[in-house]
Structure 1
Amino acid sequence: MRLLKNKLFTLYMEMMKLLLKVVPVKRGQICIINGSGYAGSNGLALFRYLKEELHYKDVWLLENFPSSHLKLAIWLKLASSQVIIGTHDPYKVSKRQTYIQLWHGIPLKRMGFLAKNANIIDLEKGHQHWSKSVDYITSSSDMYDTLMSACEGIADNKFVHLGFPRNDFFQIDEQQKAERKLELVGLFDQAVIKKEPRLLFYLPTFRMEDNNQNLSDMLKNGNIFGLTNFESNQFEALLARENIIIIAKLHPVEEKQVDVTALNQLKHVKVIKGNWLQTNQHDLYEYLAVTDALMTDYSSVYFDYLLMDKPLLFLANDLKNYEARRGFLLTPYQTFAPGLVAKSMQEFNQALVDLFKLDLHDERNQIRKMIYQDTYLKNNSSEQIWKQLIQDLVQDCK
Structure 2
Amino acid sequence: MLNIIIFGTGSSAQKFVEMLDSTKVTILCFVDNDISKQYKKFKDRYINPPQKIQDFRYDYIVIASQYSNEIMEQLLDMGIKYNRIIPFDYGLHNKNNMEYYKKVHSLMLKDKQQHNHKLKIALINYNYSNYNGFALYKYMPDFIKGKYDVELVTSNDKEYLSKFDVICSSHYDGIYNGVHLNFEMWHGFPIKILGALQKTVTEKSIQYYRNRSQHTELVFSYSQLYTTFFNACFPSCADKYRITGMPRNDLLFEEGSLDKLESLCKRSLSGYNIVFYLPTWRKGKNQVIETSCEWTKLFGFKDEDTDRIKEILEKNKLFLVVKLHPFEFYQFKNLDIFQHEQVFLLSEDILMEYKIHLYELMGCCKVLITDYSSIFFDTLLIDTPLIFAPTDLDEYSENRGFLLEPYDYLTPGPTVFTLEELEKELKKYLNQEDEWKDKREQVKKLIFKYYDNKSSLRVWTEIDKYLSSYEMKWTN
Q: TM-score range by the shorter chain?
A: 0.7 to 0.9
Q: Given residue 196 of structure 2, which amino acid in structure 1 is its aligned partner?
A: F
Q: Given residue 372 of structure 1, which amino acid in structure 2 is its aligned partner?
A: F
1:53 to 1:240, Cα distance in 2 relative to 1, 3 A: farther
Provide the rounded CA distance (Å) in 1 between the counterparts of 2:188 and 2:236.
Answer: 16
Contact 2:282/2:292, CA 8 A, preserved across alignment: no
What is the DSSP-based 3-state SS (H/G/I as helix, E as strand, rest coil) of the residue aligned with 2:98? coil
The residue number in structure 1 matching 2:276 is 201
Is residue 389 of structure 1 aligned with residue 463 of structure 2?
yes
Q: Given residue 118 of structure 1, which amino acid in structure 2 is its aligned partner?
A: V
Is residue 102 of structure 1 aligned with residue 185 of structure 2?
yes
Aligned length: 357
1:137 to 1:331, Cα distance in 2 relative to 1, 3 A: same
Measured after TM superposition, the shift of residue 181 of structure 1 is 4.0
Structure 2 counterparts to residues 76-91 of structure 1, below 5 A? 77-78=163-164, 81=165, 83-89=166-172, 91=174
The residue number in structure 2 matching 1:15 is none
The residue number in structure 1 matching 2:237 is 155
Is residue 314 of structure 1 aligned with residue 388 of structure 2?
yes
The residue number in structure 1 matching 2:403 is 329
Provide the rounded CA distance (Å) in 2 between the counterparts of 1:259 and 1:392.
Answer: 44
The residue number in structure 2 matching 1:7 is none
Measured after TM superposition, the shift of residue 339 of structure 1 is 0.7
Provide the rounded CA distance (Å) in 2 between the counterparts of 1:86 and 1:29.
Answer: 17
Is residue 247 of structure 1 aligned with residue 321 of structure 2?
yes
Measured after TM superposition, the shift of residue 277 of structure 1 is 0.5
1:68-118 alpha-carbon deviations (Å, 9 max, x no partner): xx4xxx25523xx1x321112253465464321111111111112211232
Contact 1:28/1:394, CA 8 A, preserved across alignment: no
What is the DSSP-based 3-state SS (H/G/I as helix, E as strand, rest coil) of the residue aligned with 2:309? helix
The residue number in structure 2 matching 1:235 is 309
Q: Given residue 187 of structure 2, which amino acid in structure 1 is its aligned partner?
A: H
Measured after TM superposition, the shift of residue 182 of structure 1 is 2.7
Identity %: 27
Measured after TM superposition, the shift of residue 184 of structure 1 is 5.2
The residue number in structure 2 matching 1:22 is 98
What is the DSSP-based 3-state SS (H/G/I as helix, E as strand, rest coil) of the residue aligned with 1:335? helix
Measured after TM superposition, the shift of residue 384 of structure 1 is 1.2
Measured after TM superposition, the shift of residue 235 of structure 1 is 1.6
1:94 to 1:326, Cα distance in 2 relative to 1, 3 A: closer
Is residue 369 of structure 1 aligned with residue 445 of structure 2?
yes
Provide the rounded CA distance (Å) in 1 between the counterparts of 2:200 and 2:177.
Answer: 33
1:293 to 1:265, Cα distance in 2 relative to 1, 3 A: same
Provide the rounded CA distance (Å) in 2 between the counterparts of 1:345 and 1:314.
Answer: 12
Is residue 341 of structure 1 aligned with residue 341 of structure 2?
no
Provide the rounded CA distance (Å) in 1 between the counterparts of 2:161 and 2:97.
Answer: 11
Provide the rounded CA distance (Å) in 2 between the counterparts of 1:46 and 1:115.
Answer: 30
1:37 pairs with 127, 132, 141, which one?
127
1:300 to 1:244, Cα distance in 2 relative to 1, 3 A: same
Q: Given residue 58 of structure 1, which amino acid in structure 2 is its aligned partner?
A: D
Contact 2:176/2:212, CA 8 A, preserved across alignment: no
Superposition CA RMSD, Å:
2.8
The residue number in structure 2 matching 1:63 is 154
Provide the rounded CA distance (Å) in 1 between the counterparts of 2:198 and 2:330.
Answer: 28
Provide the rounded CA distance (Å) in 1 between the counterparts of 2:231 and 2:324.
Answer: 29
1:4-36 alpha-carbon deviations (Å, 9 max, x no partner): xxxxxxxxxxxxxx8622146866323335255
- Name structure 1 gaps, 5 residues minimum: 1-17
What is the DSSP-based 3-state SS (H/G/I as helix, E as strand, rest coil) of the residue aligned with 1:215? coil
